């Protein structure tokens, strides 16, 4: 059985799976439930000076992901300090305490939570052209405590520039990405926005943003030397493997835990273990940065190459036939056949086949 354990900034995790700060760790009891469900660490819901006033409704399943107007913790910092952190700490796994949002608030809050925190996670929103507010929060946290400081980042076109600035400010690890937005959904029966915010806007999380998260992780991992916690759209063991291949050292999940419950952590860990075993990996750490190494060896080409079909695997579902934009695939004697003279080599059929019967080469 492959080794799922990882070590980041001196903290040892039995697997790379943990909650992202949000409703799955909204209080101490929820934190314990996450660990009972298989989470290897706790990332507590972000606190600030005052409890959040969240517009309702604040969450909606939009099928490709989740639209939300989630903010920081609705509980007071006093309740967390007096009760919730102690409950979470009793789980016996690393406790990463979420804090926000300004340097002044971080300087005030960080010493208060230090007795419970194995690390801090700073939430940074609304990145503009001026990176000073973000780097100042990192410096404030590093001055205030002696535990690792992780910085959660929103998706951004200049993710490398921001990651390098945060690293230079003293961050010990990056956490990426936060929800993407603003976005909007409308209930067509009522004509009202799905979210209860004044603008009607929300932020998109879950499976819809996984490819964006993977890109941000890949770009940042190619620029910085500090570890990265991958977040955004993790719902299977293969998603974890993908984020590791992009350069992540661990992963967090929130939306899938909301939709499926806390047992999802153990489920995904089991799927990851099975993937590693089936592909001959001894440790999850062997995947880290694999894509970058593979790309350095690959020859880039714009020439069309037709994939091939392993007929013994083909189940005659017809997915590839229906979705081929070039009408290059037909079912012949109930098996998919690709006409190489028509095939453009777009590769769509590989991802449409549910049983992996289509591949490059062979």
Domain CATH number, residue 330: 3.30.70.20
The 8 Å CB, 24+ separation contacts for 111-118 are 111/144, 111/145, 112/77, 112/81, 113/47, 113/80, 113/81, 113/85, 114/144, 114/145, 114/146, 114/147, 116/85, 116/86, 116/88, 116/89, 117/145, 117/147, 118/11, 118/94, 118/147, 118/148
- CATH at residue 186: 3.20.20.70
313 pLDDT higher than 90? yes
Q: What is the pLDDT of residue 125?
A: 65
DSSP 8-state class, residue 64? S
Statement to judge: residues 264 and 353 lie in one domain? no
Q: What is the pLDDT of residue 127?
A: 61
| Tens of pLDDT, residues 37-95 | 999 999 999 999 999 999 999 999 999 999 999 999 999 999 999 999 999 999 999 99
SS3 289: coil
Statement to judge: residues 352 and 209 lie in one domain? no
Longest dimension (CA), the chain: 71
Q: What is the pLDDT of residue 18?
A: 98
Mind giving me the DSSP string for 316-334? ---HHHHH-TT--EEEETT
| Domain hosting residue 158, numbered range | 6-295
| Tens of pLDDT, residues 254-306 | 999 999 999 999 999 999 999 999 999 999 999 999 999 999 887 777 787 89
Statement to judge: residues 193 and 64 lie in one domain? yes
Total domain count, the chain? 2
Statement to judge: residues 269 and 211 lie in one domain? yes
Statement to judge: residues 278 and 189 lie in one domain? yes
pTM: 0.94
Statement to judge: residues 67 and 172 lie in one domain? yes
Statement to judge: residues 211 and 116 lie in one domain? yes
Q: Is residue 1 part of a domain?
A: no
| Tens of pLDDT, residues 108-162 | 999 999 999 999 999 976 566 788 999 999 999 999 999 999 999 999 888 999 9
Q: Which residues are catalytic?
A: 124
Statement to judge: residues 177 and 310 lie in one domain? no
Statement to judge: residues 323 and 285 lie in one domain? no
Name 150's bridge partners: 121, 173
Statement to judge: residues 265 and 326 lie in one domain? no
């Amino acid at each position: 059985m492959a080794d799922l354990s990882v070590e980041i900034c001196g903290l040892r995790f039995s697997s790379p799976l943990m909650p992202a700060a949000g409703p799955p760790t909204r209080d101490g009891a929820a934190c314990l439930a996450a660990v009972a469900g298989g989470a290897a660490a706790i990332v507590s819901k972000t606190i600030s000076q005052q409890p959040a006033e969240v517009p309702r409704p604040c969450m909606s399943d939009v099928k490709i992901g989740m639209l939300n107007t989630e903010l920081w913790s609705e509980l007071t910092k006093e309740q967390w300090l007096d009760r919730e952190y102690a409950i979470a700490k009793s789980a016996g796994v690393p406790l990463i305490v979420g804090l926000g949002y300004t340097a002044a608030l971080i300087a005030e809050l960080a010493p208060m939570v230090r007795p419970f925190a194995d690390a801090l996670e700073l939430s940074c929103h609304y990145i503009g052209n001026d990176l000073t507010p973000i780097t100042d929060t990192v410096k404030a946290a590093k001055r205030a405590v002696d535990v690792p400081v992780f910085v959660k980042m929103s998706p951004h076109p200049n993710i490398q520039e921001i990651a390098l600035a945060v690293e230079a400010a003293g961050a010990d690890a990056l956490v990426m990405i936060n929800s993407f937005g603003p976005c909007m959904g409308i209930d067509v029966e009522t004509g009202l926005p799905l979210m209860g915010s004044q603008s009607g806007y929300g932020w998109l999380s879950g499976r819809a943003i996984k490819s964006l998260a993977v890109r941000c992780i890949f770009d940042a991992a190619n620029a910085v030397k500090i570890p990265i916690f991958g977040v955004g759209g993790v719902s299977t063991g293969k998603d974890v493997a993908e984020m590791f291949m992009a350069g992540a050292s661990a992963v967090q999940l929130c939306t899938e835990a909301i939709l499926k419950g806390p047992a999802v952590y153990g489920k995904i860990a089991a799927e990851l273990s099975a993937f590693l075993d089936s592909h001959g990996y001894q440790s999850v750490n062997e995947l880290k940065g694999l894509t970058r190494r593979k790309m350095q060896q690959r020859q880039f080409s714009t020439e069309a190459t037709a994939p091939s079909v392993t007929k013994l695997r083909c189940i005659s579902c017809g997915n590839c036939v229906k979705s081929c934009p070039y009408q290059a695939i037909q079912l012949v004697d109930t098996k998919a056949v690709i006409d190489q003279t028509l095939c453009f080599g777009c590769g769509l059929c590989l991802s449409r086949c549910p049983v992996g019967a289509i591949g490059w080469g062979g």
